[in-house]
Every structure is written in C-alpha cells, then in structure tokens.
C-alpha cells in the first residue's frame, strides 16, 4: 500500500540543527552547532532529591503521578510567579501563567490559536529556527525584520506598517537572541509596544535566554508594562535541563484561554512529575541563586574563550553578553560550503543561511559556546577560521 500523508506535511522544513546533531555523535566531532546546555551543568543531584521528596510525600506524589490541570499545577504556577530571576515578568500572577511542554510547545499553540493560512507574521531576521518551522508549517507568510546588535530594527518594522503591513503578531527573542545574541534596546522595545497598540497586533517575546546575562541582566520583558499586547514565553531548558520539558506563557486572557483549549487537544497537560520537580527546585531559593550563578559564570568564561579565539581580521561579531551563541561574520566566506570542510575536519557549526528569512546571511555562522570545554572550544574555533582562510593553522593541528 502506498501511504499518503496530509498535504500540510509538505510545509514542514527539516531542521538543519537536528540533522547536524546526528553527525555530532561521530567520535572526535567538536560541535559548535547545537544550543545544548552543558550537561555538566545539570543540577542532577538536586533534581534527584526533588523527585525523591515529591514521591515520598503521599499528597505531592499523587499530584505528580495523576492527570493534572491543562494550564499547569497551581504549585508550579505559584512558584514561577514568585521567581523573577527566571520567570522575569514579576508582575504576572499565578493565574495568568500557562505551563507548556517546553516553550516550543507554547510557540506551536500560539500559532495554532492565532495564525490562519497566508497570514503575515513578522519575525526576527535571522530567526530562531524552531519558530520559523512552526510558522512555515502553518502556512504563515513570514516577514523578516533585520536584527542588529540592538535587536529587531523596529524602525524598519514601522516603515512596513506605514506601507500597509498588518501582521497577526511579531515574534521576537529580545534577550540574547538565538542565533545573533542581540539584546533589544529598551527604546526599540517601547516603540514596538507603541506600534502594537497603534496597529493592533500582538508581540510574542520569547525570553528563553533572559536569565543568562553574564554581567548585567538584560532589559526587563515588555510584558511587564504591556500585558495587553504582549505574550511572554519562558522555559527551564536553559537554566535547569531541557529534558524536563517545562515552559510557560503569560498572555492576555483571551489568548491564554485559546492556548489552554489547543493544549487540551494536544497533550492534556505537561508532565506533572516534571512540574513538581521544577516547583521543588525553584522554591529552594539558595539552590536556584547558586545554580544560576554557576551557569552564568561557566558560560561567560566559555564565551570569552570563544571570543578570544575569533579575534582575527575578517571576523566580526558582537561581544557575547549572555545566552549561548556568538553570531560571527566571516568576510568573504560562504559558510554553507565551509560547513562541509569543517565536518570533514571534525568541527560543526550552523551556517547563517539556516536562520535566514529575507536576508541571505551567507557569510555568517552561529557558534555555540555552551557545550564544549574551553580548550576544545578554542581549538575548534581556531581550526574553523584556518579552514576559512582567516587564521593560521594551529601548530601541528
């Protein structure tokens, strides 16, 4: 029998990052490609402790193992509402939060709730791949607005709006954007909110990296002052562990209701066991403060090591201030073809074109400093630049 898939499958892009992850398992491969948190940073014993405590208490064990409410366990929503170091919309009440299965699910539910086929949606250019995938699959018409060191160029958006563009929403990652590491300037954020109210669209701000500022915290989420037009997303993936699959959304009531309806049809609710473990860990203030300090320090030091190795003529990038990535421009280098040579030499990265919406980003590369220990990270970066013809080869390397 030949199996016919629904037509909507044609719109699914495969993610180059997931494809690269399969090559990443090769022995000796040094991957700058995945946005995978450092596994040594997982607070394994604290999470084991949380699981043991939850399961030893009959009331909590029942909540952890039973079906739960679609919008999430009240104990987790209450803890998140009181944890501004991670759920940074400090004005949000527990009732306003919806727990999702990672923030990727929140993006998916929002797209199901808000986007019809051919609706225009504005995104960062370059754009987080996972959002672009969901939007393309839904048949959205993607409109890229260029990102520079100060985040989305809101003046360009304003021009397009004046010219008649009426997006369903604007999706942006304002803090340490994936892939560019950019931070949205507060003046641009304020202007984005003003435009949202004037032209009647929602802003979806994905705060996946907001807790990972190395020196300073990034500006506060737009959702604090503009809960009427802003949906804020968050996740434990970059601060605890992605395998927990716990994220959240804070949205205006009508959007929240639509997300909850769509989620019910999708997975009933996020794993109750994961939710209780996260609630237990986040309620432990001393643990959380110490853990955030540890991962920020580790990533800051790795970011500095990578930035040092990239300090060569013909390579430009904004100094990393947080998050997991450096977005480097390699002058005159086609990074898609560089990738093939790099893989043959046991180095992986994601070429810029993978994140492209309207701009080609053909000379850019996303380099993650999250996963490799410093000496390997440095060597991988130097080898990559040597392959690109932008740095001398390492002696004997």
Residues in touch with ligand PLP (CB under 6 A): 35, 102-104, 128, 130, 173, 178, 206, 208, 235, 237, 242, 247
Cα distance between the two ends of the chain? 53
**Minimum CB distance to ligand PLP smaller for 368 or for 390:** 368
Dihedral sign from CA coordinates of 182, 185, 190, 194: negative
Q: Is 60 helix (H, G, I), strand (E, B) or coil?
A: helix
Q: Which is nearer to ligand PLP, 212 or 315 (CB)?
A: 212
Q: How far is the CB of 237 from ligand PLP (least distance, A)?
A: 3
Helices (H), the chain: 16-24, 44-56, 58-65, 74-81, 102-114, 129-137, 154-162, 186-199, 253-267, 272-283, 285-309, 335-344, 374-387
For the bound state, the minimum distance from the C-beta of residue 99 to ligand PLP, rounded and expressed in Å, comes to: 11
Considering the complex, what minimum distance in angstroms separates the CB of residue 238 from ligand PLP? 8
Residue 233, beta-bridge partner list: 206, 249
C-beta closer to ligand PLP: residue 30 or 238: 238
Q: CB-wise, 352 or 387, nearer to ligand PLP?
A: 352
Least distance between ligand PLP and beta carbon 191 (Å): 22
Residues 237-246: b if buried by 16+ CB within 10 A, e if exposed = bbbbbbebbb
Residue with the CB atom nearest ligand PLP in the bound state: 102
Q: In angstroms, rounded to a whole number, what is the distance separating the alpha carbons of residues 251 and 95?
A: 11
Say how many residues make up the chain.
397
Rounded to whole angstroms, how far apart are CA atoms 134 and 208? 17
What's the closest the beta carbon of residue 247 comes to ligand PLP, in angstroms?
A: 4
Nearer to ligand PLP, 209 or 214 (CB): 209
Token pair of 373 as six digits: 């220990």
Tokens standing for residue 189: 């954020």
- The residue among 31 and 104 lying less far from ligand PLP, judged by its C-beta, is 104
Q: Among residues 238, 224, 218, 130, which one has the least CA distance to residue 174?
A: 218
For ligand PLP, the closer CB: 30 or 108: 108
CB of 74 to ligand PLP, least distance (A): 21
**Tokens 């494809």 belong to residue:** 19
Judged by beta carbon, residue 114 or residue 391, the one nearer ligand PLP is 114
> Least distance from C-beta 162 to ligand PLP, angstroms?
28
CB of 126 to ligand PLP, least distance (A): 12
Cα(275)–Cα(64) distance, rounded to whole angstroms? 8
């Amino acid at each position: 029998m030949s199996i016919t898939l629904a037509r909507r499958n044609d719109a699914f892009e495969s993610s180059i990052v997931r494809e690269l992850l399969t090559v990443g398992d090769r022995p000796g491969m040094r991957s700058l490609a995945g946005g995978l948190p450092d596994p040594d940073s997982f607070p394994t014993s604290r999470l084991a402790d949380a699981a043991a405590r939850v399961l030893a208490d009959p009331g909590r064990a029942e909540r952890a193992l039973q079906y739960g409410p679609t919008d999430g366990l009240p104990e987790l929503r209450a803890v998140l509402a009181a944890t501004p170091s991670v759920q940074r919309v400090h004005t949000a009440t527990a009732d306003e939060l919806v727990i999702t299965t990672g923030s990727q699910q929140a993006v998916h539910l929002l797209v199901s709730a808000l986007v019809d086929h051919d609706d225009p949606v504005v995104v960062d250019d370059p754009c987080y791949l996972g959002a672009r995938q969901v939007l393309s699959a839904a048949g959205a018409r993607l409109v890229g607005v260029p990102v520079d060191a100060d985040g989305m160029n809101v003046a360009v958006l304003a021009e397009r709006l004046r010219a008649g563009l009426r997006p369903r929403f604007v999706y942006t990652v304002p803090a340490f954007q994936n892939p560019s590491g950019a931070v949205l300037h507060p003046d641009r954020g304020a202007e984005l909110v003003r435009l949202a109210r004037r032209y009647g669209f929602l802003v979806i701000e994905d705060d996946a990296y907001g807790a990972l500022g190395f020196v300073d915290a990034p500006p506060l989420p737009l959702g604090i002052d503009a809960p009427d037009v802003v949906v804020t997303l968050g996740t434990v993936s970059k601060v605890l562990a992605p395998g927990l699959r716990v994220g959240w959304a804070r949205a205006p009531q009508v959007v929240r209701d639509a997300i909850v309806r769509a989620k019910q049809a999708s997975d009933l609710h996020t794993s109750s066991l994961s939710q209780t473990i996260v609630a237990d860990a986040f309620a432990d203030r001393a643990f959380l403060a110490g853990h955030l300090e540890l991962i920020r320090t580790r990533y800051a030091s790795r970011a500095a090591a990578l930035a040092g190795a990239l300090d060569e003529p013909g390579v430009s990038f904004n100094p990393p201030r947080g998050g997991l990535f450096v977005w480097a421009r390699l002058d005159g280098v086609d990074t898609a073809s560089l990738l093939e040579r790099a893989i043959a030499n046991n180095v992986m990265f994601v070429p810029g074109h993978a994140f492209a919406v309207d701009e080609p980003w053909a000379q850019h590369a996303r380099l993650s400093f999250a996963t490799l220990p410093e000496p390997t990270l440095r060597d991988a970066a130097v080898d990559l630049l040597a392959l690109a013809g932008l740095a001398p080869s390492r002696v004997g390397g």
